[in-house]
Amino acid sequence: MKKILIVEDDTDISFIYARALKNAGYSVDQAEDGVLGLDKAEANLYDLILLDIMLPRATGIDILKEIRKPGSKAKGTPVYLLTNLAQDSIIQECFKIGAQGYMVKAQLSPDDVVKEIDAFFHKNPKQGV
């Protein structure tokens, strides 16, 4: 079973996506802010991290940078950004740092997200360490 970490401060959204993913057969963990999320990411090795950008205490981009640092334990964990910010510049920056994908929450239903993640794992079966 694939393990997914959702880093999202909006509990409603977090709950909804977690539920959808669980129903789809994934194991889901949740973190409410970036720091917690980072801890969890390093403590457990997930197959995918869904990362929001607008987080308290640190932005998703900072977290992404931290994750991708050479010394990070979660260095190789795939990351999908799940956010409402859709600016090109942000998207490009995230990709540069090393995100695998970018999803605009507001335009997607939870099912769409599940489909995409399925597609992702289908294409990249051997993710994670």
Our CB check for other proteins shows the closer of 34 and 78 to be 78
Per CB under 8 A, 43 contacts other proteins = no
Interface with other proteins includes 42 (CB under 8 A)? no
The interface with other proteins within residues 59-98 (CB under 8 A) comprises 68, 75-76, 78, 84, 88, 91, 94-95, 98
User: For other proteins, which stretch binds (CB under 8 A), given 33-41, 42-50, 57-65, 111-119?
Assistant: 111-119
For strands 27-31 and 3-7, give the pairing: parallel
Bridge partners of 75, per DSSP, are none
Q: Closer to other proteins at the Cβ: 2 or 105?
A: 105
Are residues 24 and 118 in contact, defined by beta-carbon separation less than 8 angstroms?
yes
Ramachandran area for residue 114 (φ above 0: left; ψ -120 to 50: alpha; else beta): alpha
Q: What is the CA radius of gyration of the chain?
A: 13
Tell me which residue of 14, 107, 55 sits closest to 4, measured CA to CA.
Answer: 14
- Residues in the site for other proteins, rule: CB under 8 A? 10, 12-13, 15-17, 19-20, 68, 75-76, 78, 84, 88, 91, 94-95, 98-110, 112, 115-116, 119, 124, 127
